[in-house]
Amino acid sequence: MLKLVLRGFLQRKLRVLLTGIAIALGVALMAGTYVLTDTINRSFAGIFQVANKGHDVVITPTQTLGRQTRSQTSPITEQMLAQVRATAGVAEAAGAIFTPASFLDLHGKRLTTGGAPGFVASEVPKRFESFVPVSGRFPTSASEVAIDQATAEREHLRLRERIVVAGSAQARQYTITGILKFGGGQSFGGASAAILTPVEAQRVVGEPGRYDQIDVAAKPGVTPGELRDRIRAQLPSAVDVRTGAQQAAKESSDLESNLSFLRTFLLIFAYVSLVVGAFIIFNTFSITVAQRTREFGLLRTLGASRAQIMRAVVIESLLLGLLGSGIGLLGGIALAPGLDQLFKSFGADLPDNGTVLETRTIVVSLLVGVFVTVAAGLAPALRATRVPPLAAMREGVEIPPRVLSGVGVLARALLVVLVFAAIALLTGSGAIGVIGFIVLSGYVTFLLVRLMRGGVPGRHPVVRALARGVGVLVRWRGITGRLAQENSIRQPGRTMITAASLTVGIALVAFVAVLADGTKATIDQAVSRSFAGDLIIENSSVNSEAGIPAILAPAVRRVPGVASVTPVAFTVGRLRGSSSNSTITAIEPASFGRVYRVEWAHGSNATLQQLGATGTIVTKAYASSHHLKVGQTLSVLTPTGQHVSLTVRGIASDNARLLGDLTIDLSLARSAFGQRDDALDFVTYARGVSNAQVQPIVNRGLAAYFPQARSRTAAQFKADQANQINTLLTLIYVLLALSVIVSLFGIVNTLILSIYERTRELGMLRAIGTSRRQIRQMIRYESIITALIGGVFGLVIGVVGSVLVTTFALSGSGYVQSFPIGTLVILLFVAALAGLLAAQLPARRAARLNVLGALASE
């Protein structure tokens, strides 16, 4: 039996290859994701090890609100440093600065690429220093800087040239005195570093007399653990004390958790492709089982048991799964650098030193690939067992179909839900939930397809109607169009499944496109409604967390024509008894109401004036989910570890999402939340002054003193937001394209199998004078019809799904429904193009058929 399977396998090389690729592409993205993320993690682990070399003990601010958050004001002071130095067993201790900042050339062009951050660091004693000069030396005066080699090479910077460093203070020019190499031959992870003298570094980052961390070396004979415990006993809880090894491990694990979203994000697309692949495998196996009805009948007549037939088909899918996953795994390893490039081109520069292939990658890729293939081939295998022995004797015996009831569909869907819920619970992984959702939607689509037959096989009124509708496009081409249309509904079930594989991809694209368009419209409307000012000043970096110095607002106030400037800052806090952080917006109550229209549920602009150090405004959604009323007092834990009491003074809704869960006075944010920088400055002009009179002056000032900032009018701001959404959208499109490519192979496969079934018909057509061109045309049209059926379905599911989701999930949030008609039309063209592309090989094969051979075929 196994021999038979193997022989059949080898005889159908093309089909095996095409079907294998359907699985291979999804597996490749999965393997590539693992390889890429493992490589990034490993690279960073290496960087952190080097960075912590020579550090026996490291003292850092405690992250009271979780590892993602850090107070902008460090609790580490000169006095604390002195205390550490005085501790027995300390050989040397030094304070260090390591804070994100902006680097620019003298023309205002940023010296960092994409999303990779720039860091201002202070020089530390040699035993702690992870940078080594390649040329020049470390800075010795406040006007000198040393920069990392990668940045110097990329930006063609040489010694004695000058660069601008902009942090929380007014930007300054520095002369390059040294080009530095990060220790151990490691790259610095795509990030840039500018090393200043300690005092100058403190000044630039706005923390005179404070440090981001203290590096400690132990005296001989004192272990890092002992020293850590001694220091711990002396210092307040506002700081964490770790050994160097612990610190490196913590930094690695912080980074991994920061990057885990990337893995999940990419894996989702891999699973989408795998679901599409499953459709194709199911379809291919269904067709081949039907085509081999006689063969199975013969085997049954010769005494093969049902179990043996089942085994034969399952082994075939197992082999196919192994082959596909194997190819996919190899492809994934090759793909990983490509994914890295993809993210680079979208502004996320991630380091990858070499390629890391974990055993887990191999095991998971092969397992998932084989599992999907076998699972998809199971139903056709079951069908094969129902072939009666009689089928060997007669032609045209069909396998008795099973009628599916609505209850049956529900039961199956429920089973899938339960399986995934169980896995999700057991592994505690949210990603499994997402994957389950995708698989489930695929499965539901499939069941819907079956239900659309009205339970009766072979009817498919929807597919027929669609084929007829879409067919109009090719009918005018005469007989080839007519035949293509008829052929496409000859086996409506097959056409539907083939189309459904494309539906998955198109539906997701349409869903995302509609959602994005709505989001853009929502932002647009919200900004128009809420923002009453003339200019918004923000950091020009793509890194959305980068802020602007607090000293910027007073500086802009002095520009002629500017009536008012009101700064806004963002921070976080945690309600007592809560395990998650609440977002907090800090405002200047006196001027905020003039530039921003707050939609009050309780309170008025007068409420703003009463905020003071103890008042807060909460959003309507937050109030209802936390059962808050005006007058209630909350206890909030701040990033600096303090507890502050806040009384709810007002409740507001805010579609522009500027207001966080809580809104507080900016001066409270500075004093109790350690908030140093601002996020935005809202500028209003004096009466009768035009934008052309003011914005150029503001821009000149920014360029000279705060080159990291830029000014935006409301229109520019909206366009920026739209651009950001578009960038993300493009990335998602690129990744979803993979699933469309997978479905392409499905169409190719189905066409080839259909052509094989219609060999004699094609022979007859050729004999009575149909030209090769006409045959090719016919196949192409059929393919386009199939693809368009999938496209129309996908469009409908995507648009309706998006409308449903936004209506239910975003009700009352001010979401504005908007439809990107152009994109949706293009999507249909893409579907048709996919059909055309998929038809190339089958059409050529059909046209090349030998007329006599085809006529003689069974």
Partner 1 sequence: MALPEAEAPSGKIVEAHDLCRRYGEGEAAVDALAGVTVDFPAGRFTAIMGPSGSGKSTLMHILAGLDRPTSGTVSIAGVQLTDLSDRELTQLRRDRVGFIFQTFNLLPVLNAEENILLPLSIAGRDPDREWFERLIDTVGIRDRLTHRPAEMSGGQQQRVAVARALVSRPSVVFADEPSGNLDSKSSNDVLELLRHAVDDFGQTVVMVTHDAHAASFADRLLLLADGQIVHDGDAVTAEQALDLMKSVG
CB of 494 to partner 1, least distance (A): 14
Q: How far apart are CA 230 and CA 223, in angstroms?
A: 11
Q: How far apart are CA 122 and CA 249, in angstroms?
A: 23
Return the closest-CA partner of residue 698 out of 556, 838, 603, 566. 556
Stretch that binds partner 1, among 136-144, 355-363, 432-440, 482-490 (CB under 8 A): 482-490
Q: Which of 126, 137, 490, 576 binds partner 1 (CB under 8 A)?
A: 490
CB of 386 to partner 1, least distance (A): 24
CB of 766 to partner 1, least distance (A): 7
Contacting residues for 606 by C-beta, under 8 A, at least 6 apart: none
542 in contact with partner 1 (CB under 8 A): no
Residue closer to partner 1 (CB basis): 466 or 656? 466
463 in contact with partner 1 (CB under 8 A): no
Q: How far apart are CA 249 and CA 255, in angstroms?
A: 10
CB of 854 to partner 1, least distance (A): 10
Residue closer to partner 1 (CB basis): 292 or 760? 760
Return the closest-CA partner of residue 92 out of 134, 114, 118, 125. 125
CB 611 within 8 A of CB 665: yes
CB of 387 to partner 1, least distance (A): 22
Residue closer to partner 1 (CB basis): 768 or 809? 768
Strand residue runs (E) in 204-312: 210-211, 213-218, 239-243
Residue closer to partner 1 (CB basis): 398 or 486? 486
Residue ranges in 35-54 that form contacts with partner 1 under rule CB under 8 A: none
Q: Which of 78, 229, 398, 486 binds partner 1 (CB under 8 A)?
A: 486
768 in contact with partner 1 (CB under 8 A): yes
Stretch that binds partner 1, among 50-58, 189-197, 738-746, 765-773 (CB under 8 A): 765-773
Q: What crossing angle do the helices spanning 430-451 and 406-427 adopt, rounded to 10°?
A: 170
Q: How far apart are CA 684 and CA 711, in angstroms?
A: 12
786 in contact with partner 1 (CB under 8 A): no
CB of 767 to partner 1, least distance (A): 5
396 in contact with partner 1 (CB under 8 A): no
- Dig out the tokens for 654 from the structure: 């805010």
Element housing 535 (H / E): strand 535-539
Q: Which of 619, 770, 786, 802 binds partner 1 (CB under 8 A)?
A: 770
CB of 319 to partner 1, least distance (A): 34
Stretch that binds partner 1, among 311-319, 414-422, 486-494, 654-662 (CB under 8 A): 486-494
The DSSP line for 643-665 is EEEEEEEEEEE-TT--S-SEEEE
757 in contact with partner 1 (CB under 8 A): no
CA dihedral 263→264→268→274, nearest 10 degrees, is 60
Q: Which of 122, 498, 774, 777 binds partner 1 (CB under 8 A)?
A: 774
Q: How far apart are CA 89 and CA 423, in angstroms?
A: 51
CB of 771 to partner 1, least distance (A): 5
CB of 749 to partner 1, least distance (A): 21
855 in contact with partner 1 (CB under 8 A): yes
Residue closer to partner 1 (CB basis): 110 or 766? 766
CB of 284 to partner 1, least distance (A): 23
Stretch that binds partner 1, among 376-384, 454-462, 479-487, 601-609 (CB under 8 A): 479-487
* Residue in the structure block whose two tokens are 């059962």: 627
CB 751 within 8 A of CB 836: no
> Which residues are paired to 562 by β-bridges?
685
Strand residue runs (E) in 171-277: 172-182, 192-196, 210-211, 213-218, 239-243
CB of 770 to partner 1, least distance (A): 5
804 in contact with partner 1 (CB under 8 A): no
- Dig out the tokens for 580 from the structure: 């998650």
CB of 490 to partner 1, least distance (A): 6
760 in contact with partner 1 (CB under 8 A): yes
478 in contact with partner 1 (CB under 8 A): yes
Residue ranges in 117-146 that form contacts with partner 1 under rule CB under 8 A: none
In the shown chain, the binding pattern of residues 813 to 852 toward partner 1, with x for contact by CB under 8 A and - for none, equals: --------------------------------------xx
Query: How many residues touch partner 1 (CB under 8 A)?
Result: 23
The DSSP line for 559-598 is STTEEEEEEEEEEEEEETT-SS-EEEEEE-HHHHHHHB--
Q: How far apart are CA 164 and CA 386, in angstroms?
A: 77
CB of 793 to partner 1, least distance (A): 23
CB of 760 to partner 1, least distance (A): 7
Residue type for position 763: G
769 in contact with partner 1 (CB under 8 A): yes
Q: How many residues does the chain have?
A: 858
Contacting residues for 341 by C-beta, under 8 A, at least 6 apart: none
Q: How far apart are CA 719 and CA 700, in angstroms?
A: 22
Radius of gyration of the chain (CA): 33
482 in contact with partner 1 (CB under 8 A): yes
Q: Which of 149, 487, 607, 802 binds partner 1 (CB under 8 A)?
A: 487
- By DSSP bridging, strand 57-61 and strand 213-218 are antiparallel
767 in contact with partner 1 (CB under 8 A): yes
Q: How far apart are CA 83 and CA 231, in angstroms?
A: 9
The DSSP output letter for 531 is B
Return the closest-CA partner of residue 266 out of 466, 51, 435, 492. 435
CB of 401 to partner 1, least distance (A): 18
Contacting residues for 656 by C-beta, under 8 A, at least 6 apart: 523, 526, 527, 529, 530, 531
* Residue in the structure block whose two tokens are 């993602």: 68
771 in contact with partner 1 (CB under 8 A): yes
Residue ranges in 660-719 that form contacts with partner 1 under rule CB under 8 A: none
CB of 843 to partner 1, least distance (A): 16
Q: Which of 397, 431, 772, 801 binds partner 1 (CB under 8 A)?
A: 772
Q: Which of 227, 765, 784, 849 binds partner 1 (CB under 8 A)?
A: 765
- By DSSP bridging, strand 615-619 and strand 643-653 are parallel
Stretch that binds partner 1, among 90-98, 119-127, 683-691, 768-776 (CB under 8 A): 768-776
Strand residue runs (E) in 54-211: 57-61, 76-77, 90-96, 98-100, 102-104, 118-122, 131-136, 144-148, 162-166, 172-182, 192-196, 210-211
Return the closest-CA partner of residue 510 out of 730, 797, 284. 797
Residue closer to partner 1 (CB basis): 227 or 489? 489
Q: How far apart are CA 416 and CA 103, in angstroms?
A: 53
CB of 784 to partner 1, least distance (A): 17
For residue 258, give Cα distances in angstroms to 133, 263, 297.
Answer: 31, 10, 57
**Burial zone of 825 (CB within 10 Å; 0-12 exposed, 13-18 middle, 19+ buried):** exposed
Stretch that binds partner 1, among 130-138, 481-489, 556-564, 660-668 (CB under 8 A): 481-489
The DSSP output letter for 110 is B
491 in contact with partner 1 (CB under 8 A): no
Residue closer to partner 1 (CB basis): 221 or 396? 396
365 in contact with partner 1 (CB under 8 A): no
Sign of the alpha-carbon torsion through 222, 228, 233, 235: positive
Residue closer to partner 1 (CB basis): 94 or 290? 290
Residue closer to partner 1 (CB basis): 427 or 771? 771
764 in contact with partner 1 (CB under 8 A): yes
Contacts with partner 1 by CB under 8 A lie at 478-479, 482-483, 486-487, 490, 760-761, 763-772, 774, 851-852, 855
